[in-house]
Amino acid sequence: MRPPILRRLFRRVASATALGLLAATLSTTAAAQPAAAAAGGLQQVTGFGSNPGNLQMYAYTPAGLPANAPLVVALHGCTQTADAYYTNSGWAEFADKWGFAVVFPQTTSANNSLSCFGWFDPAEDTRGKGEAASVVQMVDYAKQSYGSDGRRVYVTGLSAGGGMTADLLAAYPDVFAGGSVASGLPAQCAGSQAAASGCQTGPQKLSPAQWGDKVRAAYPGYTGPWPRVAIWQGTSDYTVYPANATALRDQWTDVWGIGQTPSSTDTLPGNTTRSVYNDASGRPAVETYSVSGMGHGLPVSPGSGDQQCGKTAAYFLNAICSTYYTGVFWGLDGGTPGGDGDQLPAPAGVRVTATTDTTASLSWNAVEGAASYAVHRNGTKVASPADTTYTDTGLTAGTTYRYTVTAIDAAGTAGTASAQVTAVTTGGSTPAKCYTATNYAQVTAGRAHTAGGYVYANGSNQNMGLYNVFVTHTLKESPAGYFVIADSGCAS
């Protein structure tokens, strides 16, 4: 499979070579079919809402679906249709086996010439706007019409659908309990047409905290639990490069307040390596699945076995049934997502009450049944207070720290981790200076340099994308002469 060629992206009238998320071989794939192509158990739903993103809704509901069943939203890739995803992905098979409904949103060439979801367009992939808002309206319709459990709504997608999945998890963590990104992009990797191709072949070299900031900025002030995220990637994917899986891992482990070292690693069928990243309570929060030798597509495993599913087709690749392992990770098989369901709930109201140059003070609401609490700083446990307050000491001036709090019962079992809060100690070096400009202007001003047609920030050497006047970044200078990308905000 040849790598994609992406020159310019247009919302409505892009050329046939515009968006290469399914590679240059798109010319061999059938164009998106009209809505009438959906057949069998897949049914089109109209009138599900105001539909600001101009999407079509298809749904599959197994016979005898009970009330309060889970709901899965499955997003197709470029040039694909809802019917293709329904037919080949395996989600309908496990909906029958485990008892849940599936919504298959569909975009068309009226939105994008290659029928790609707009993961790169802030008018489409942000909270309350465009296609993202249309998908959430479909979820609301399913809850009202099928009796779906609003606490167990999950979203998955391939390629452009995977990029939109990550954006939906960031923009609507209050809607989706979990997500699965297959051959996709980290949330808010691209905020413009010009930046999209750079994400595919190599996303910005941001720190985990910087990737996490993109999620936190998507729904400012959110304090609830974060979605549990599965990440699927082929090692030979030259359409959406494997670096995206690493960025996704960094992004969501940082959001959860845990480190980037796996809690466990094992080998699965199809030359697949699974790495598990546990939350503060010891339950899987993020899982990565690296499929050795697989190219760009959704891994399936046709057959009648309990752990097999799907059909092979363009971009549905015979390796492993990703749908089965994703469903188990979410608890769709009847288990509890990430493990035992008897833990104490996450402490609410976690907040930073004061900081000095060497301390950060926290408080939170009491959890009934808690014998103590565990405080984690940057993913590492630092204290086990019995009360609902704690002051962390020995910190460095002018430094950012992230905290989560977990309730511990009398048996010593940890509950669900709280939402992460950030504390910045006082003092430190001179406040950082920030500069927003095109890549060309940043180089001209001496804040960045070029190599091989790309621009790199001086000091950090972070890849800023192509050397042109169409890509704009904010650079933060601290200390003098050392620049880092700060597109998500430029706090000192």
Q: Within 13 Å of residue 213, how many CA atoms lie on the same side as its CB?
A: 14
Place of tokens 């499979």: 1
Torsion of CA 168, 74, 153, 185, to 10 degrees: -30
d(CA 26, CA 478): 45
* Residue from 477, 473, 478 nearest 488 by CA: 473
Neighbours of 39 (CB within 10 A): 10
- Are 205 and 463 contacting, i.e. CB atoms less than 8 angstroms apart? yes
Catalytic residues: 159
Strands, sheet with 264-268, edge to edge from the N-terminal-most edge strand: 43-45, 56-60, 101-106, 71-75, 153-158, 178-182, 228-234, 284-291, 272-278, 264-268
Rounded CA separation 205/195 (Å): 14
- For residue 410, CA distances in Å to 69, 150, 253, 371, 404 come to 32, 31, 28, 5, 20
